[in-house]
Amino acid sequence: MEERTDINRELMLDANATAGVLYEIFGVEMTASPTECANCGNEGEIGGLLAFVQGPGIVLRCSACENVVLRIVQTPEAVYLDARGAVYLRLAR
Ligand SMILES: [Zn+2]
């Protein structure tokens, strides 16, 4: 497998930790929600994205091209969600 230098896999979160944070923010179980990478068009579940702790937030990257799909930063007052790397994010009602 090709060696990547731009990603520190030691900062990778496990899926359960990611699911907990997403549930806290969205109030729904998110890991099975479908999303599509804006960079390569790869479609998959949010739970299948690569999650990293980075600075004050969490970064979810495409498992195919490693493009940043979602970036979540939590402050005491608010949650910042940067979803420009996703074509869409489907939240079940
Ligand atoms: Zn991608």
pLDDT at 2 (0 to 100):
54
Q: Which residues contact 3 (CB under 8 A, 6 or more apart)?
A: none
Query: If you compute the radius of gyration of the chain from its CA atoms, what whole number of angstroms results?
Result: 13
**Euclidean distance between the first and the last CA atom of the chain, given in angstroms as a whole number:** 39
- Residue 88 alpha carbon to ligand 1 centre in Å: 13
- Residue 79 alpha carbon to ligand 1 centre in Å: 24
- Residue 46 alpha carbon to ligand 1 centre in Å: 12
Q: What pTM did the predictor assign?
A: 0.83
- Residue 92 alpha carbon to ligand 1 centre in Å: 22
pLDDT at 38 (0 to 100):
98
Instruction: Report pLDDT digits (tens) over 40-88.
Output: 999 999 999 999 887 788 999 999 999 999 999 988 999 999 999 999 9
